[in-house]
């Protein structure tokens, strides 16, 4: 028995080893000074623990502690996360800023539009490709594919919100 663990040595101290194990442990203790030193340290700890006074817990101690924890957890109100509200607000401000910047750049004050060449080019591109765009979405296979992808997206969003709600409920249950 080359690898005597502290668990085996503790069983030796407590007299819980089988006779064949006992002989092997005694043989190893006699041959190995390191094992003997560990055994002495464990015996010192064992004797110290046996000499300690044991205080008996009051009746219903666990219930009183759990009740105190429950009362404290009820008094603490959960923090409301304003993360999504903040993100939506920042996005709205950004969109509003882009719209204001677009309107300000359209008229430079002397009646000339600085955006006129860009607007004309956009109208030209949209005019040329509008029929192709309409034909593309008139195809029943494309509409079916888009419908399926939309359905998958809606189901995914629903399952994500349900998983989040279940997680919050479990978290609240375990925090009580």
Counted domains in the chain: 2
pLDDT, tens digit, for every residue of 66-76? 888 888 877 76
More confident residue, 51 or 109: 51
More confident residue, 17 or 115: 17
Residue 56 DSSP one-character state: P
Nearest CA-CA partner of 13 in 36, 38, 39, 35: 39
pLDDT, tens digit, for every residue of 47-63? 988 888 888 888 888 88
Provide the β-strand partners of residue 113.
107
Q: Is residue 65 part of a domain?
A: no
If pLDDT is split at 50, 70 and 90, which confidence band does 154 have?
A: very high
Domain C-terminal end among 14, 36, 51: 51
More confident residue, 57 or 13: 13
Buried b (16+ CB within 10 A) or exposed e, 73-95: eeeeeeeeeeeeeeeeeeeeeee
Least confident of 66-75, 116-125, 133-142: 116-125
Domain C-terminal end among 36, 51, 66: 51
Q: Is residue 69 part of a domain?
A: no
pTM of the model: 0.34
If pLDDT is split at 50, 70 and 90, which confidence band does 108 have?
A: low
Q: Is residue 56 part of a domain?
A: no
Q: Helix, strand or coil for residue 40?
A: helix
Q: Is the pLDDT of residue 112 over 60?
A: no
pLDDT score, position 106:
61
Residue 80 DSSP one-character state: P
Q: Is residue 13 part of a domain?
A: yes
| Average pLDDT, rounded, for the chain | 82
Q: Is residue 104 part of a domain?
A: no
Q: Is residue 47 part of a domain?
A: yes
Estimate the share of the chain in helix, then strand, then coil, as percent rounded to the nearest 5: 80, 0, 20
pLDDT score, position 97:
83
Q: Is residue 84 part of a domain?
A: no
Query: Is the CA virtual torsion 56, 58, 63, 65 positive or negative?
Result: negative
Range of the domain at 126: 113-176
> How far apart, in whole angstroms, are the C-alpha atoms of residue 86 and residue 25?
68
pLDDT, tens digit, for every residue of 160-175? 888 888 888 888 777 6
Q: Is residue 27 part of a domain?
A: yes
The DSSP code sequence of 119-169 is HHHHHHHHHHHHHHHHHHHHSHHHHHHHHHHHHHHHHHHHHHHHHHHHHHH
> How far apart, in whole angstroms, are the C-alpha atoms of residue 105 and residue 130?
27
Average pLDDT, integer, range 1-20: 85
For residue 77, CA distances in Å to 64, 70, 74 come to: 22, 13, 7
């Amino acid at each position: 028995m080359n690898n005597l663990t502290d668990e085996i040595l503790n069983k030796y101290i407590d007299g819980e080893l089988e006779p064949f194990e006992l002989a092997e442990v005694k043989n190893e203790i006699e041959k190995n000074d390191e094992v003997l030193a560990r055994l002495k340290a464990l015996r010192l700890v064992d004797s110290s623990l046996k000499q300690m006074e044991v205080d008996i817990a009051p009746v219903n101690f666990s219930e009183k502690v759990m009740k105190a924890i429950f009362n404290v957890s009820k008094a603490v109100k959960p923090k409301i996360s304003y993360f999504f509200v903040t993100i939506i607000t920042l996005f709205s401000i950004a969109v509003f800023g882009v719209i204001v910047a677009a309107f300000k750049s359209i008229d430079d004050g002397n009646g000339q539009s600085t955006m006129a060449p860009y607007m004309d080019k956009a109208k030209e591109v949209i005019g040329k490709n509008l029929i192709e765009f309409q034909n593309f979405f008139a195809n029943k296979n494309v509409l079916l594919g888009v419908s399926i992808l939309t359905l998958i997206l809606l189901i995914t969003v629903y399952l994500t919100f349900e998983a989040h709600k279940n997680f919050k409920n479990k978290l609240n249950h375990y925090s009580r």
